[in-house]
Amino acid sequence: MKGNAMKSNRTKFRVIAALCLLLGLLLLTGEDTGADTEGGASVAGVVSFDGPKPRRTKIVMLGNKADRNGGSANECIKLHGDKTPLSEHALVSDAGGLANAFVYVRKGLEKKKKYPMPKTAAMISQKDCMFRPRVQGVRVGQELLLRNSDGLVHNVRAYASRNRPFNIAQPADSADRKKVFTRPERALQIGCDIHRWMKAFVFVMDHPYYAVTDADGKFTIKGLPAGEYTLEVWHEDFGKRQATFTVNANGSSKVDFSFQPKTKKGNA
């Protein structure tokens, strides 16, 4: 009897130890990433362009009216050396994938729900007289860093409608500037008055369920609770598309979008 009791105690100890180890692993791997803590479902897909691949044109680097001798624009040209930069407003892969499309959940989420904030700040960098990234999402209340990575003067103008617009100068080698948006706003345009071809778009979101398509037009949105949703995709040249989908708990769904050619002129 005594031997059986000792054996039983050893078994209980092993079970408890295994449970403690499992809990420890969960705590180590359970990083607070916002969306990933809310649910286990996901949606993925491809945004494609159904038409002839748009031709990328050379960016004409001209300064503003105050830059009469073109000095600042000439500095930008020097940054690129012998390689003239090409337009980025319609980037399509050889397979038809559309890059820089913003995909997000438009409907279906619990209203007024508070989601965990990202642990890191978002950033817009001015590099080689171009904004990087061209399209991104930031959260309401998340810090946005504005960085001048060039050795020349820039400025950042936010053409906001629901948030407070701003226009700040960024001299060469200046420290990062910090901004925070307080309201949701879609496709908020960022520009540089000194270098008119520079352009970027920011989506200010009140939830974490969004993505930007990669060079192949692919996107994935993780951490969704089970439910029925409306997904919207936006592209600066080709407009918007919507689709509905349903996911079960820990399930996945596939949603593809396709845009057709649309006549629009643009430089950068």
pLDDT band at 55 (very low <50, low <70, confident <90, very high): very high
Quote the domain boundaries for residue 247.
40-56+213-268
Residue 262 lies in a domain: yes
Residue 100 lies in a domain: no
- Residue bearing tokens 């053409």: 159
Tell me: the pLDDT tens digits for 10-24? 544 444 444 443 334
Residue 45 lies in a domain: yes
Please give the model's pTM, rounded to 2 decimal places.
0.83
- Residue bearing tokens 């050379």: 58
Closest CA to 126 of 198, 175, 71: 198
Residue 72 lies in a domain: no
Tell me: the pLDDT tens digits for 151-184? 899 999 999 999 999 999 999 989 999 999 999 9
Number of structural domains in the chain: 1
Q: What is the CA radius of gyration of the chain?
A: 24
Tell me: the pLDDT tens digits for 87-100? 999 999 999 999 99
Contact 260, 48 (CB under 8 A): no
Average pLDDT along the chain: 86
- In the chain the first and final C-alpha atoms are separated, in Å, by 83
Check residue 265 and give its pLDDT. Answer: 54
Residue 257 lies in a domain: yes
Residue 236 lies in a domain: yes
The CATH number of the domain where 241 resides is what? Answer: 2.60.40.1120
Query: d(Cα 232, Cα 106) in Å, to the nearest integer?
Result: 6
Residue 124 lies in a domain: no
Contact 83, 53 (CB under 8 A): no
pLDDT at 26 over 60: no
Tell me: the pLDDT tens digits for 102-157? 999 999 999 989 999 999 999 999 999 999 999 999 999 999 999 999 989 999 99
Residue 152 lies in a domain: no
What average pLDDT does range 245-255 have in this prediction? 97
Query: d(Cα 130, Cα 149) in Å, to the nearest integer?
Result: 10
- Edge-first strand listing for the sheet containing 210-212: 210-212, 102-107, 227-235, 239-247
What average pLDDT does range 218-227 have in this prediction? 97
Check residue 37 and give its pLDDT. Answer: 54
